[in-house]
């Protein structure tokens, strides 16, 4: 499929601000500096759809983007950023939890981890939480352009072991800079929620 249309709909904090048109939702979540906004912009082929900042933790609300007039891509606040107050971290956590709890429209969670590093305790907690509530979870390892060819297998082994993925659990490597395999990743993440698959 091709993403032909992507538009920002709303930044929400409370449930009553979420879209209520029953379209499927695919949520992206990850650490503050994992490259979430860059990935969203790369997949949608839009330079400024999601705001990219040099300062981690820019996304503090639940941002809904309508894709191909078919389904929503949902950008959740990044977690694990050290340079904010504990009360602010708690607010972000509650914002994420409010969205993820009992959201019938949420069909898939895409957990982003940095391909260069071992997943953090926060990454593990997020993955376990999503699995506990029986969400379909796909892991995407970002910034793969920073890896040498010889490092991919080692990185995959480390991520799979740390998150305790089984052989059937999906893990994809991606570089928002190089964009290799964009169409394949788009298909793997979104195809089943699309009606126009051209």
- CATH number of the domain that 90 lies in? 3.40.50.300
- pTM score: 0.91
pLDDT tens digits, one per residue of 55-106: 555 557 899 999 999 999 999 988 876 565 666 666 767 888 889 888 999 9
In this structure, is residue 128 part of a structural domain?
Answer: yes
Which domain does 51 fall in, by range?
Answer: 6-193
In this structure, is residue 1 part of a structural domain?
Answer: no
Report the number of distinct structural domains present in the chain.
1
The answer to whether the CB of 34 falls within 8 A of the CB of 78 is yes
Cross-strand bridge partners of residue 137: 109
Q: How many CB atoms lie within 10 A of CB 78?
A: 25
In this structure, is residue 52 part of a structural domain?
Answer: yes
In this structure, is residue 198 part of a structural domain?
Answer: no
pLDDT tens digits, one per residue of 142-172: 999 999 999 999 999 999 999 999 888 999 9
What helix, strand, coil percent values describe the chain, rounded to 5?
Answer: 35, 20, 45
């Amino acid at each position: 499929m091709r993403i032909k249309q992507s538009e920002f709909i709303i930044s929400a904090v409370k449930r009553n601000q979420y879209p209520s048109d029953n379209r499927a939702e695919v949520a992206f979540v990850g650490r503050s500096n994992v490259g979430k906004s860059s990935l969203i912009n790369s997949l949608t082929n839009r330079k400024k759809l999601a705001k990219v900042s040099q300062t981690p933790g820019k996304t503090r609300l639940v941002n809904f983007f309508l894709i191909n007039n078919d389904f929503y891509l949902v950008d959740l606040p990044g977690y694990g950023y050290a340079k904010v107050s504990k009360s602010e971290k708690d607010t972000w956590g509650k914002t994420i939890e409010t969205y993820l709890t009992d959201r019938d429209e949420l069909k898939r969670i895409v957990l982003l981890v940095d391909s260069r590093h071992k997943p953090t305790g926060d990454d593990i907690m997020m993955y376990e939480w999503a699995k506990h509530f029986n969400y379909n979870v796909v892991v995407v390892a970002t910034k793969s352009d920073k890896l040498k060819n010889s490092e991919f297998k080692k990185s995959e082994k480390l991520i799979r072991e740390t998150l305790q993925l089984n052989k059937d659990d999906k893990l994809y490597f991606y570089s928002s800079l190089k964009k290799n395999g964009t169409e394949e990743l788009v298909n793997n993440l979104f195809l089943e929620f699309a009606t126009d698959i051209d």
